[in-house]
Amino acid sequence: MVIVTRGDYIWVEPVSGRDFDVAIGAKVITAEGRKIQVRDDDGKESWLQPERRIKAMHPSSIQGVEDMISLGDLHEAGILRNLLIRYNENLIYTYTGSILVAVNPYQILPIYTAEQIKLYKDRKIGELPPHIFSIGDNSYTHMKRFSQDQCIVISGESGAGKTESTKLILQYLAAISGKHSWIEQQILEANPILEAFGNAKTVRNDNSSRFGKYIDIHFSKSGVIEGAKIEQYLLEKSRIVSQNSDERNYHIFYCMLAGLTKEEKIKLHLKEASDYRYLIGGKCITCEGRDDTAEFADIRSAMKVLTFSDAEIWEVLKVLALLLHLGNIKTKAAVINNLDATEISEMSHVETASSVLGVNRKSLIEAITTKTIFAHGETVVSTISREQSVDVRDAFSKGIYGRLFIWIVSKINSAIYRPKAGAHTSIGVLDIFGFENFDSNSFEQFCINYANENLQQFFVQHIFKLEQEEYNLEAISWRHIEFIDNQDALDLIAIKPLNIMSLIDEESRFPKGTDTTMLAKLHKTHATNRNYLRPKSDLNASFGFNHFAGVVFYDGRGFLDKNRDTFSADLLQLIEISGNKFIQHLFREDITMGNETRKRAPTLSSQFKKSLDSLMKTLGNCAPFFVRCIKPNELKKPMIFDRELCCRQLRYSGMMETIRIRRAGYPIRHTFREFVERYRFLISGIPPPHKTDCRAATSRICQAVLGKSDYQLGKSKVFLKDAHDLFLEQERDRVLTKKILILQRNIRAWYYRRRFKKMKSSVIVLQRNVRGFLQRRRYQKMRTGYMRLQALIRSRVLAHRFKHLRGHVVGLQAVCRGYLVRRQVRRRLWAVIKIQSHVRRMIAQRIYKKFKFAQRHKLEALRLRDQEERELKKSGNKRYKEIAEKNYRERLQAIAAKGMEMEREDRLIIDRKKERIENAAKRKDEPLNDSEVVEALFDFLPDNGSEAPPPTAFRYLPNPPKHDEDNMSNSPDNMAPMDVEDLSEYKFQKFAATYFTGNANHQYSRRPLKSSLLPLVAPVDQLAAQALWITILRFMGDLPEPRYHSMERDNTSVMSKVTATLGRHFAKSKEFQELGLENMDGYNSINMKQKTRSIRHKLVSLTLKRKNKLGDDVRRRLEGDDSAADSYQSWLEARPTSNLEKLHFIIGHGILRAELRDEIYCQICKQLTNNPSKSSHARGWILLSLCVGCFAPSERFVKHLRAFIREGPPGYAPYCEDRLKRTFNNGTRNQPPSWLELQATKSKKPIILPITFMDGNTKNLQADSATTSRELCNQLADKIGLKDQFGFSLYIALFDKVSSLGSGTEHVMDAISQCEQYAKEQGAQERNAPWRLFFRKVNSTYL
């Protein structure tokens, strides 16, 4: 047994005999005698008995290495542990020379960024940590440097990450090629299409490639991508018609059904994925982590990039829909003329499929349910059984999809392949299926494993070449290394005469050939071959084959049918008469081929062998790089490492051949420095490696310990056998155990000597410090005394100097101040003289104008007097002078009176201007008073106290005692504050940047909106948003009222106008009539003769019964109302409106149109952001407080609004937030604020509501805008001690009408608002509306 100590790492051999159990690494925790306790790599602790086989672990295997060639323990367990250590640290890539091993992490790692691409560019393998980018970069660098084609072979099991690795290689090559052209984008866009049509969800992988592909990327001499070509191998067509449990069909079917529009689905007669038999065979139609709708959009976009026309894309979708309809054709067995026959039980899918095919229904049914036999020049049509009919239908579907896939690949190649006459280099990326061994293996697995046999031989030859290069590089003598060559297996499968594939092809061409006759030929021909395994019983229809990765048994049933891969003549005849040109194009080769030629067409195995030979020839001409993908677990979860599964994949991938080749030579390798560092203790006189010649020291150690055994010294390494490594470790343990005792004795002596010296030096230092401390403290006291004395002396000197200097400064200040005052007086005197001169000039000018005016009119009067004298004299009047003189004096008096009137008017104008200037100067520095703004806004309300009083209709009710109001515990104002929630991320600016349309921003603006802030669908909503914006600007004082308006007075309420605009057609609807019959019973006895009441009156009566149906109906009818624009234009331009009318207009739209609520809030918040006007800012917050009490925003905007309110002024923020919470909890109001609410908002006080009991007593309760009847009932019950509230509810009375509010979620203030509006329509004022609230219990409905 190996000598171990605590902390050593060892290999523990397995006790089970399972094929994939290998040694596991472990760390020694405790060693007691010959028993040791270890903790293995899986975290399990156990005690090992002495008979348990263990082996010392090489130092390179303890922490893991980036290149497993440098592992000292180069065996399965060493490789497996190295991958485990790196996988647990999220290091998924590891080198084995130039081979990259990639373990699927099943999570997104941040290692594929643009920085990583730049980091790995122009770096050799080994310079940086392992990465798939390094493989891509080295292949690209070698191609440019040596002008040789390169290839990257990516292999592994399904789910190991081959497809993702291929995509990463392509993305890296596109990124570093230097020129980002359209062809690079086309090559990258080919991946989504190929994945959609060739990948599917399997049990092992959610995106499993069900075909192999070789992407050959062509580069110019300068290294720029010029084109590419894609080859596909062996598509799994059987998946079209059947899937295993928990698996899906190809992705394209589910993406198509999820991504097509409703109209496109109707054209193709498609439904959901769960309705089609071909898609539910695995009982799984969804795939976690995949968005089929988004991927379908990506697929269509990629097809456009790759020059698929719209017509071609539609034809592809039609073919896919055809396959789904074919799969849903239901058949049933029948007997016709004593022969098995088939009947179609449902014709709907047959009709659809025949219409897509372009044939009549009868032709399709005959092709599926009958067969045509040609014998001796005659044609015989016979029926077939139901099972045969299903097989024909499925063969039809598989054939169509297989040819569609080939057409798509050729279409992609036509877009990205650019053949040129000149020489070019290329990099090929091979993404091909790994070795497969299932419980049931068929023809597909046989072809796949044949391909892997070829790739394994290619891989082994490459590894052997690398090993020989290693020996030549180190310049050691070596003999020919033997390794397992699988050429015999390849000869047996497809190379030698009478190989397996040729026998299968031969039997496929015989008309009467069956799977049984094929197996008989195989058994007879190859029974003696060591690679061929015949079953023990002939009843077992299978055969075995000894592959490089192990024995695989193949089920021979179905081999010939899959190998023939042909269509029946009936199906080809159906396609030949088809009217669908696209499907005929897919089968053009089959249609043009005659029957005899079709019989001699190459089989699937021969086609696959030909393609594979071409691929191997291509790979042989390239310098290869290998990527081995490993799947860590079957659960598809991160950080889970299944050792047995990974070991199996390592064997299947051929990585063990690397081990065998290494072990045939010298598997244990150490650099000289590592060897000296570890084994220099075995002989004396060997210093540390940094002080000696490591090669010479290694030679001395090997000669002394190993003698003349077979080991080799290279240029930088020593090459050993396994036995040498074991012997060296045992010798090292023995020598170390012996010398450790000597070392311990000397260390203990050194330790205690050092401890004594340290204690002695510490005591001396302590004494020195204590003495120094005492002297320093004495010195500090003396120093402090002297410093205080110095400070006193210096203060006296400085005080004397300050007084002397202050006297001089005061004298200088007096002189300067006198000079400045005299200069100021002179300037003011000059200014006064200047002003006086101008004033005197103006007075003189005014007097001059007055004299001029008087003189002009006096001359005019004289002229008129002379004219009158002449006229009177001419007429013969003797008193002409007296009359003319009298008129002259009267004119002079009129002129004097007019002058005095003008002088008084001028004096009055001057006084007004002077008063305005003085008032403006006084108000200039006064702060804005919120109460004044509120008074100005609510000037239509009387000032009758701080709290809202009840209506005057209840003035006769006795006032309740004072304590009855003070002890209200259930009032809304006494509610607990809102939970403190972090809303720092919900900024209004962020919301505006995300959702605002056009160029609108989140800041204050006075310009009209060209469109709504938020996207609104209905044109009427757009008009309403613009009208609301102008109304909000006018309410906040940012926009003037209309200048020209109608002088006619309009007594109609704004809410009536809004309701009429939004619900013009509602009154004519049948629903309105039924609603009226249902809810007007309580009012039939009241005023039945008023048949011509307005729509508004009817709505008031209806809403008193809580049946407001306006919102839903308006939403349906508003978009067709052409008069809405005229209504809004009339509102904005007809006349100035009061603040109350503006409030009703804004809040009425928010109540009636839920689509406009966020728009209203966003407009208000926009005007409050960075508003420079204090008055406008205050008006905006008042408007916001009224809105949050009537309707709530949407869920999308509520958090942004709350965050905006919290940042508002202290006087409004808590008030608005509490009202918003109440509105959000109790729902949106149905009516605008009542007179009581406006009075309460003005004072920010609660509303006082008197509730009358049936005995005449009254209780006053506090309420707010969102108070419901249930809340008031609960308050009353608490006040009077009522325990059982069953049957009690609230009632409201108006005139002679009574309506029940119930005890539910009805808003009390809605009913009060309706009563006030109804009272106004009857000619009364809102504040005097005679409504009354009652609380009573009834046994039946009371109206």
DSSP letter string, 912-924: HHHHHHHHHHHHT
Give the angle 1117-1122-1123 at the CA atoms, nearest 5°.
105
Residue with tokens 């002989």: 683
CA dist., res. 180 & res. 372, Å (int): 57
User: To which residue do tokens 């898609």 refer?
Assistant: 279
Q: Cβ of 519: how many Cβ atoms within 10 Å?
A: 23
Question: What is the DSSP secondary-structure string of 1005-1022?
Answer: --SPPSS-SS--SSHHHH
Q: Are strands 225-233 and 717-720 parallel, antiparallel or unpaired?
A: unpaired
Measured in whole angstroms, the distance separating CA 70 from the mean position of its chain's CA atoms is 44
- 937: nearest Cα among 1053, 1036, 1028: 1036
Q: Check the CA dihedral 940-944-949-955 and report its sign.
A: negative
Dist CA 393 CA 383 (whole Å): 14
Which has the closest alpha carbon to 165: 644, 608, 631, 642? 631
Q: Using N-to-C axis directions, what is the helix angle for 1174-1188 and 1235-1243, rounded to 10°?
A: 130
Contact by Cβ (8 Å): 259, 297: yes
* Chain length of the chain: 1343
Element (H, E) at 717: strand 717-720
25 with 73: CB under 8 angstroms? no
Q: Which of 1216, 1186, 1175, 1169 is nearest to 933 (CA)?
A: 1175
CA 390 → CA 367, 555, 1043, distances in Å?
12, 22, 84
Residues with a catalytic annotation lie at 158-159, 163, 205, 208-209, 434, 436
CA distance 731 to 725: 10
> In this structure, which amino acid lies at residue 1224?
F
Q: Which amino acid is at 625?
A: F
Q: How far apart are CA 884 and CA 865, in angstroms?
A: 5
> Strand, coil or helix: what is 287?
coil
CA distance to 433, 452, 554, 630, per residue, from 437 (Å): 12, 12, 9, 16
Residues 6+ apart with CB under 8 A from 757: none
**Rounded to an integer, what distance in angstroms lies between the CA atom of residue 214 and that of residue 233?**
8
What 3-state DSSP class applies to 31? strand
Which H/E stretch holds residue 651? helix 643-652
Vertex 201 angle, CA 199 and 202, to 5°:
110
Tokens matching residue 382: 């016979």
| Bridge partners (DSSP) listed for residue 28 | 38
How far CA 656 is from CA of 614, 652, 660, 1251, in Å, comes to 27, 8, 6, 92
857 burial via Cβ count (<10 Å: 0-12, 13-18, 19+): middle
Q: How far apart, in whole angstroms, are the C-alpha atoms of residue 735 and residue 681?
A: 7
What are phi and psi for residue 544, nearest 5 degrees? -110, 160
Backbone CA torsion sign across 1281, 1286, 1287, 1290: positive
**Backbone torsions φ then ψ of 199, nearest 5 degrees:** -115, 155
As a whole number of angstroms, the distance between CA 431 and CA 162 comes to 6
Q: Which residue has the tokens 């005492």?
A: 774
